[in-house]
Structure 1
Amino acid sequence: MNKVISIFILIFFFSCQENYTPKPRGFFKLSFPTKNYQQYAQDCPFTFEFSVYSKIDTLEKRCFFNLHFPDFKATLHLSYFPLNKNLYEHTEESRVLAYKHSIKANAISEQPFIDRKNRVFGLVYDYEGTTATALQFYLTDSTTHFFRGALYFDTEVNDSIAPVSNFLQEDIKYLIESFRWKEKLVQ
């Protein structure tokens, strides 16, 4: 009788267990807008093209502004400085700010940008890993102008944000390639 009860209890416990079926991985369905650009032509000594799905938020300091990407919860912080024989100071500050993220970055690559025809020279810092920033850059004519940008996300950075980061980096690289200094410095 004891054996019958034991067998019954064992059958009862094993019969109540569900078979585990592995579930497929879920991925975000991302839909990206069509790439389209508009000209930035404010009262600053430069101009460039930026994406139509971003919004400009002008800050109090002249030629300092943010380019918001509300659909992607990201902001490109942009700032301009007139040079007064202090190019090294600005490039070094940009380098220090860029490498503050080396603690979290798996890698930081530096890509020089040279447009001799339009006298636009710079450096683009591209990050791999879970850094707060995905891309930083500076542009200069090496004598009069210095322009800096840094892309930050308003969310926790993880692998799922990589497609959005890549999409926005294409826009920023287009901004850099379309960047031009105006003929005269606006005071």
Structure 2
Amino acid sequence: MQKIKTSIIFFVIILGTIISCTNTSDYSPKPRGFFRISFPEKTYQEAKTGCPFTMDIPSYSVLRDDRSAGAQPCWKNLDFPAYNARLHISYFKISPQAPFSALTEDARTFAFKHTAKASAIDQRRINRPEDAVYGLTYYIKGNTASNLQFFVSDSTTHYLRAALYFNEKPNMDSIAPVLEFIQADIERMVNTITWK
């Protein structure tokens, strides 16, 4: 009786193995997927900064004063709550204590701190002489903490620097669509900044 039970169990195992292995030609691994992100329609409004500059900001963002330790007047945070992202905006009045050359060197240093993780850093000149707005935008490629930074100035009185950060572990595969969406908003901001 024991031999019959053992034979039946052995037969079932062999039969199960044969049946399960017969249809392997249809198998293909599934690619890793990400959540679909739906973006709102792009609409803008002029920011009420209370500072010597104005700009257009997206209606789905929130402009707040920077309340962190060491923050100066006219430092702002532009939050994108739906995307867990923040644009840190720092305004400086150019002076002997904060000369234009030192401020632009700081912007370059902050952008190039990401060199170790960046696959490339592209720079694009900002040149709007009709509004006395000049500067650079840094497009930082790769899994870096910040993928977009810029500074603008009139080179004599006003200087504004900004850096975009996501409150997530850097992973370009997952943030690329959101970065592209917000990048268009930041480019609109840069093209609408005016000094008071």
In the superposition, the TM-score normalised over structure 2's length comes to 0.84
Equivalent residue for 1:123, pick from 136, 139, 144: 136
Q: Which string of whole-angstrom CA distances, capped at 9 and with x for unpartnered residues, describes residues 27-71 of structure 1?
A: 421110100011113321110000010011212421001000010
Q: Corresponding residue for 2:81?
A: 70
- The verdict on how the C-alpha distance between 1:42 and 1:11 changes in structure 2, with shifts beyond 3 A counting, is closer
**One-letter code aligned to 2:136:** L
Q: Comparing 106-115 with 55-64, which one deviates more in the overlay?
A: 55-64
Number of residue pairs aligned between Structure 1 and Structure 2: 179
- The verdict on how the C-alpha distance between 1:18 and 1:147 changes in structure 2, with shifts beyond 3 A counting, is farther
Q: What are the within-5 Å matches in structure 2 for residues 29-44 of structure 1?
A: 29-44=36-51
Distance in 1 of aligned mates of 2:106 and 2:40: 35
- Structure 2, unaligned stretches of length 5 or more? 1-6
Per-residue deviation, 1:163: 0.5
Determine helix, strand or coil for the equivalent of 1:117: helix
Q: Which string of whole-angstrom CA distances, capped at 9 and with x for unpartnered residues, describes residues 74-106 of structure 1?
A: 000001000014100000011000000011000
- Structure 1, unaligned stretches of length 5 or more? 183-187
% identity of equivalent residues:
41
Distance in 1 of aligned mates of 2:35 and 2:138: 27
1:92 correspondence with 2:105: yes
Per-residue deviation, 1:10: 4.2
In the superposition, the TM-score normalised over structure 1's length comes to 0.88
Q: Corresponding residue for 2:3?
A: none
C-alpha RMSD over aligned residues:
2.2
Q: Comparing 8-17 with 65-74, which one deviates more in the overlay?
A: 8-17
